[in-house]
Chains A and B, each alone.
Chain A
Amino acid sequence: MRKLLRIATSGAAVVLATAMLLSGCSSGGTPNATSGSTRAQPPKASMPSSLGAGEGQLNLVAWAGYAEDGSNDKSVDWVHPFEAQTGCQVHTTYGSTSDDMVQLMRTGQYDGVSASGDATLRLIYGGDVAPVNTKLVPNYTTISSFLKNGSWNSVNGQAYGIPHGWGANLLMYTPSAVSPAPTSWSAVFTDSGAYKGKVTAYDSPIYIADAALYLKATQPALGITDPYSLTAKQLAAAVTLLKAQSANVGEYWSDFTKEVQAFESGTSVVGTTWQVIANLINSDAKVKVETVVPKEGVTGWSDTWMVSTKAKHPNCMYEWMNYITSAKVNAQVAEWFGEAPAQTLACAETTDPTFCTTYHATDAAYAAKIYYWTTPTTQCVDGKGDNCTSYSDWVNAWQQIRG
């Protein structure tokens, strides 16, 4: 054993020496391209001007529920009809978080992704996704106009994907434990002490935007205009608020099954949620929950199908983007997932005729009130300057909050 240790020690010395050598000798690095009045131009990537025949295969990265093939529920299947129609065999990998999806797309093994707004810019500027020729996606014309050319899915007027659907991060509570019914995010921030240990929050740096949105309404002196464009001072204020909240949080949730279980077991009684989670809890009927759009407004997500720059099956991906945004399929996905469909014509195809009204699908005014997840960058996403905090600052801040 002593001999082994000696070998290990000398091995460690070799490692250290190599480490010093390599890090000393390395050079280079990419230039930091972030300045100017319009958005910085992402790495160049080509887009097709016409489509060829399908390649027979399609590898997707998607949110759970976006590419159902009947394995969860026999009646919920839009992948098999697509395969029959186009001859493209679909292989889906589910991403559990936006960060996970960015990581998967960086491998270059996938043709496309259903990216949320907190992933899209990272993918665009990382050179992982290509601009999309919307002319090759006929269904794009009837997609809700307020979803086109958003700051999260286009750069300088060039579309980088096809909008899929959107929704809001709502406040959910168990009425039997939380009364009176909350109407403000203060229930999980300044007044969260009332439910000490039973508050929940989304376990992601992007949740800082929820705190920023609350501060925007309650502390106008901070001068927050957009929850994703925070200066260092504004970020610090949000961190203070979230640290105070942390004392009352029982559990953070990142995957939705954890929140479903936490509410059903009474571990959590109030916190941020998605409509689909509330639907799941209420359909299990162990506890009853309510959701509300608090008066300060809400953050939300808007998902976009994007094509990888390294796609081996781009034609199948374009076929998929057109298929998933066709009226009938988009309606199916939206109802299964519990979000507003991007396709305006989908509203006529939902099994529940009031579905689009419930989700305010074509209500541009409602959609405008949602602050969609966007990747924070040093060049402020609201275009107000270059002194904003970046996503990595947010990650560090989030680790500080978790403590």
Chain B
Amino acid sequence: MPLLWLVVMYLGSIAVMLVSAFWTVNDFTGEVEQTFTLDNIARLFTDPLFATVALRTILVAFGVTVIDAVIAIPMALFMSKVASPRARLALLVAVTTPLWASYLVKAYAWRILVAPNGPISFVTGGHTPGYGLTATVITLAYLWLPYMIIPVYAGFDRVSNSLVEASFDLGGSAWRTVRSVVLPLVFPAIAAGSIFTFSLTLGDYIAVGIVGGKTQLLANLIYGQLVTANNQPFAATLSLIPLAAIVLYLFAIRRTGALENV
């Protein structure tokens, strides 16, 4: 039964989208014409615009993922191994509380923070990233951080303290213990978190509209083709790019073995 749901509802809708990627649209009436054509695919590869924006989007997704991992790993390590039970609870609440606020509220908050005459500029004496790619990466990293911290925290939590103690007993330093014992064990959790941050960034077009200045990402192009140009077939063609990117990402993760025993 769940498999039926997966095939019909989920893969079925993706199939419809894939099909329409090979259709075209009547220039004048805006009606979709259901005739098979490879024009959309050809356009995807011949127009440099799409490669540029796709590359930019994937780099932003990597950037956001790396930033989130760098912040989340020490944070989660502290929460699960160092903090007292009471502090751990407080930290967990602190990490999840931002999820209660609306996405838009948080994005607009960053718009105000990075404004040319905003708080960041005031505190740093005029050094604000302003609206653009940097602000987009910061905002997205902020927005998706809980999705990285929670799985990584759960991963650290499952690493038995006795393993850590055994490492210490055998003369391992704190750093060596983290590097050779703990990190390999939590790597699957980091990989799981990175799937969230990576895929969520690939699909985002709202935050970049709010803090991105004149930057556009892949999802903006898709939105533009779908809503502004009313060219649903080409929008479907464009959405093959993030689809391919996330599939490749999943396979890359799988190769590292992170998905073996989750």
Contacts and interface: CB of A to CB of B under 8 A. Distances in A.
Interface of A: 1-2, 5, 7, 11-12, 14-16, 18-19, 22-24, 26-30, 32-34, 40, 43, 97, 99-100, 102-103, 122, 125-127, 204-205, 246, 249-252, 265-267, 377-379, 390-392, 395-396, 398-400, 402-403
B218 to A, nearest CB: 11
Given A15-B14, A102-B230, A126-B29, A26 B35 contact: yes
Nearest to A378: B27
A127 B53 CA distance: 35
Given A33-B28, A125-B29, A28 B34 contact: yes
Contacts of A391: 229
Contacts of A29: 26, 31, 33-35
A126 B31 contact: yes
A22 B14 CA distance: 13
Contact of A265 (B117, B220, B230): B117
Nearest to B32: A29
B110 interface: no
A250 B19 contact: no
Interface of B: 3, 6-7, 11, 14-15, 18-19, 22-23, 25-31, 33-36, 49, 52-53, 115-118, 130-131, 213-214, 216, 220-221, 224-225, 227-231, 247, 250, 254, 259-262
Given A2-B259, A30-B33, A99-B227, A377 B214 contact: no
B29 A18 contact: no
B136 to A, nearest CB: 13
B119 to A, nearest CB: 12
Contact of B19 (A23, A32, A246): A23
A126 to B, nearest CB: 5
B230 A99 contact: yes
Nearest to B229: A395
B216 A399 contact: yes
A205 B228 contact: yes
B259 A27 contact: no
B171 to A, nearest CB: 35
Nearest to B22: A23
A391 B3 CA distance: 43
Given A5-B259, A19-B19, A267 B115 contact: yes
Contacts of A379: 28
A11 B10 CA distance: 10
A19 B25 contact: no
Given A14-B11, A102-B30, A377-B28, 6 more contacts: A2-B260, A5-B259, A12-B11, A24-B36, A29-B33, A34-B28
A30 B31 contact: yes
A390 B25 CA distance: 12
B34 A399 contact: no
11 contacts: A14-B15, A15-B14, A19-B15, A26-B36, A33-B29, A103-B230, A246-B214, A249-B214, A266-B117, A378-B27, A399-B216
B49 A399 contact: yes
Contacts of B35: 26-29
Contacts of B115: 265, 267
A378 B26 CA distance: 11
A82 to B, nearest CB: 30
B118 A265 contact: yes
Contacts of A15: 11, 14-15, 18
Contacts of A24: 36
Contacts of B26: 29-30, 32
A392 to B, nearest CB: 5
Contacts of B228: 97, 99, 204-205, 395, 398
A252 B213 CA distance: 7
A396 B262 CA distance: 44
Nearest to B34: A26
B18 A19 contact: yes
Given A7-B3, A30-B29, A395-B228, A251 B36 contact: no
A143 to B, nearest CB: 29
Contacts of B22: 19, 23
B72 to A, nearest CB: 21
A24 to B, nearest CB: 6
